[in-house]
Amino acid sequence: MERLEAAGSAYPAPELDVSRWFGPESSLAQLRGRVVMIEAFQMLCPGCLSYGLPQAQRVQRLFPEVAVIGLHTVFEHHEVTGPDALAVFLAEFGIPFPVAVDRHDVDHGMPVTMRAYALQGTPSTILVDRAGNLRFTHLGALAELQLGAMLGELLAEPSA
């Protein structure tokens, strides 16, 4: 089973570099002191719909102390997954957490924040600890027990 990066060897999570927020704007700097789960997704990605986003919703519901954020990391089909389409998607699927739109980079296929985290695709799950350090990234499905264990461990770490 994959594990959290040890607190001692982790480095600071790159700040979110995004072009727009749906829901309250936020930043990792502002969320310092809280455990953060970032769910990177694309609105027309089947795995995001069938397990990535539903899991993020369950985390938000069960762990009020965890700040859950969606990150729309579009790296294909930009023309049909822009902000207007995303707004409809978020409303129709009842996504309950704030969603940031990753910044498009005309010189690269991958958007800026996705590249800063070296994500390989969607859905990807990112965990940031209370100190703002990047402790885990994962592409694809994650067992609920495993994700729960990592959240439990992060929540048990002291705030400062």
Residues engaged in binding a second copy (CB under 8 A): 1, 44-46, 49-50, 58-59, 62-63, 77, 79-81, 84-85, 88-89, 92-94, 143-153, 155-157
Report the residue number, 118 or 143, with the smaller CB distance to a second copy: 143
Report the residue number, 79 or 107, with the smaller CB distance to a second copy: 79
Shortest distance, CB of residue 156 to a second copy, whole angstroms?
A: 4
Rg (the chain; Cα; Å): 15
CB atoms within 10 A of CB 87: 13
Report the residue number, 61 or 108, with the smaller CB distance to a second copy: 61
Shortest distance, CB of residue 126 to a second copy, whole angstroms?
A: 17
Report the residue number, 42 or 113, with the smaller CB distance to a second copy: 42
Shortest distance, CB of residue 3 to a second copy, whole angstroms?
A: 10
Shortest distance, CB of residue 115 to a second copy, whole angstroms?
A: 22
Shortest distance, CB of residue 116 to a second copy, whole angstroms?
A: 25
Report the residue number, 2 or 25, with the smaller CB distance to a second copy: 2
DSSP assignment of the chain, as one string? ---PPPGGG--BPPPP-EEEEESS---HHHHTTS-EEEEEE-TT-HHIIIIIHHHHHHHHHH-TTSEEEEEE---S-GGGSSHHHHHHHHHHTT--S-EEEEPP-TTSSS-HHHHHTT--SSSEEEEE-TTSBEEEEEES---HHHHHHHHHHHHHS---
